[in-house]
Amino acid sequence: MPLAQIFGNLSLWASLPAFLVYYLFYSSFEYDDPEGRVSDTKTFLNEYDFIVIGAGSAGAVVANRLTEVSSWKVLLLEAGGDETLVSDVPGTVQYLQRTNIDWQYRTVAQTGSCLAFNDNKCNWPRGKVLGGSSVLNYMLYVRGNKRDYDSWAVDNPGWSYDDVLPYFIKSEDNRNPYIAANTKYHGTGGYLTVQEPAYTTPLATTFVEAGVELGYENNDGNAAQQTGFMLVQATNRRGHRCSTAKAFLRPIRHRPNLFVSMHSRVLKIVIDSTTKQATAVRFEKNGKVYEVKATKEIILSAGSVNSPQILMLSGVGRADHLNSLGIPVLSDLKVGDNLQDHIALGGMVFTVNKPFGSLEGRYVTLATFFNYTINSAGPMASLGGCEGLAWVKTKYADQTIDFPDIEFHFVSGTPASDSGYTIHYNQGVTESIWESYYKPVVNTDMWQVIPMLLRPKSTGTIRLASTDPYTAPLIDPQYFTDTNGEDLKVLIEGTKIGLALSKTEAFQKLGTKFYDKIFPGCEGYTPWTDAYWGCFIRHYSTTIYHPAGTCKMGKAGDPTAVVDARLKVYGIKGLRVIDCSIMPNVVSGNTNAPTIMIGERGSDLIKEDWPHNKEDVIIKPLTTKKNSSKKKMKVKNI
């Protein structure tokens, strides 16, 4: 796809010679990449010690850590290809969904949510690429709340906050000096670069000031206390995205025991029906089907949608569901149940009378383009407009403890800002609603606060649509279906706090006004009542892309558990699940960093279960060589 088309301003890009545009991007992202690209395996051994399915936020970590043992051969299978040049640019994140690096999932029709979307179906982006959803996401580094993990540990020893904190720190290379200095909670020198974005608007500091005005602290939500307001921390490396592929795979790409196969679609895990031993993985690549054996274990790290799908295709799942499709049942487990996701209101926006918003016209200019390609700075280094985070308590939360029930994502752009942001925020919203509600204020400076429900009580399901592995599974999040309606009540209160934020002196200095046009479909409700807000939320429901829980971790005897505390699948030998699907309850925050932690901890569990000689362990990452080219050019490091 031409860059002009990608960035949506043909007249601008037409003014640049094509070779110059190509030179700038190619030199910036290819020649100076210190890690280099991962090679794609073309031929396969008959067997490997471990086969890891999925090279996303967890799978890339697992492949890295297992290949630290030099005598173990590890095959990493990824359905997608490598990251693109565009995905490396934080400011282009809104252009990545519905592309070939996205599975492009949609839910089944919802009855009480996503009512403003086409066919009442919610879009569910999932990464189909090396790095998985860490390539599609907004790069926010959030760990969740201490009490999340302590609740996991009640039935799952080894998963308390004190147990998992060292694994967060192990991965982290935090480059914010005032944050990294807090060594009790943060680490330096790990594979995963974490730092504040290279560019924010003045609205970011206004957001934090407004939070303090409401009585909240400006603090580090990843440290001692979560409740409060903060500027974002991100998986960001000097103005570029730091996906798990870049962080964990590229630096070790020369390890002789690592084999990475892209464009490899897993069809099923082969399990012996007599011994219940997982023995091999069957997958298709370039039109050819392979079946490769694993002598030790198969690790499923395909995420909360694809991991249950693959298990069910392999005979592991609810007996009634598998029987209905004619799939022999090898282990009757509640695979695909317990689906949890962070639902939010996506359409509440505010205008300002200062030129501070993230408008496309300010992003796509020659100046910003050259600033980014040369300095890795400027608007294109922003996180797609997401600049602040906050955790607040509604009246339904326990006021005596640090356990907020709403998270705010503060964005310096909105669905109404311009066409660029519409591509993301308005994705799938019916054209009639866009025309009648947002289009009148296109190209207006605006900001948005997105209230997100942290601990949903509503749970949904993942089910097979058919026995065809190429058919997308049925995703039914069942938002707002909890018995007492608590999820909607909490989100309504969070919306009210967001409105109160706009009334603070900090925001009023910018002339902030709530865009109070009645949302289509809610005309029959008295404006600004709980009933109206509930209608608004049900119409403009938006996922924050955090599905979890579909291969639940639980103790033996728990009828809802799929894996044990060591992440082994009940009833099947040689098979583990290591990704966010094992969460008993979704964490109170964004899920990318916790998924990386799960990859780190799961890798150690495997090493504990498979003793190896100390001399086999690669203590340090292999030294990588800088890319070479016949063309000699001076490039910067990223």
Active site residues: 546
> Is residue 51 within 8 Å of residue 290, measured between CB atoms?
no
Picking from 303, 368, 501, the residue whose alpha carbon sits closest to that of residue 7 is 368
Question: Which are the contacts of 170, defined by CB distance < 8 A and separation ≥ 6?
Answer: 187, 190, 600
Beta-strand (E) ranges in 484-527? Answer: 513-514
Q: Residue 166 contacts by C-beta under 8 Å, 6 or more apart in sequence? A: none
For the beta carbon of residue 156, count every other beta carbon within 10 angstroms.
24
| Cα–Cα nearest to 546, from 517, 583, 571 | 583
8 Å CB contact between 108 and 33: no
Per-position DSSP letters for 356-420, written without gaps between them: TS--HHHHSSHHHHHHHHHHS-SGGGSSTTEEEEEEE--TTS-TTSS--SEEEEEES--TTT-HH
Q: Is 266 annotated as a binding residue?
A: yes
List of residues 6+ apart from 358 with CB closer than 8 A: 201, 379, 382, 384, 385, 411, 412, 413, 417, 421
Please list, in sequence order, all residues whose beta carbon lies within 8 angstroms of the beta carbon of residue 187, skipping any fewer than 6 positions away.
Answer: 168, 169, 170, 171, 172, 173, 174, 180
Tokens 């990843």 map to which residue? 222
Single out the residue of 304, 432, 347, 457 nearest to residue 114, CA to CA. Answer: 347
How far apart CA 441 and CA 430 sit, in angstroms, is 17
The SS3 assignment for 4 reads helix
Helix extents (H) in 263-325:
303-313, 319-325
Backbone φ and ψ of 420, nearest 5°: -60, -45
What is the C-alpha separation between 137 and 124, in angstroms, rounded? Answer: 12
How far apart are alpha carbons 317 and 587 in whole angstroms? 24
CA 66 to chain centroid = 23
Which residues fall within 8 angstroms of residue 180, CB to CB, at 6 or more apart? 174, 186, 187, 188
Cα–Cα distance between 424 and 428 in angstroms, integer? Answer: 9
As a whole number of angstroms, the distance between CA 333 and CA 542 comes to 30
| Residue 71: CA count within 13 A, CB half-sphere | 11
Calculate the CA dihedral of residues 477, 481, 482, 488 and round it to 10 degrees: 100
331 phi/psi in degrees, rounded to 5: -155, 120
From residue 124, alpha-carbon distances to 304, 438, 473 in Å are 11, 22, 12
CA separation, residue 143 to residues 162, 167, 537 (Å): 13, 11, 26
Q: Which residues are annotated as a binding site for FAD?
A: 129, 266
Q: Which residues are annotated as a binding site?
A: 129, 266
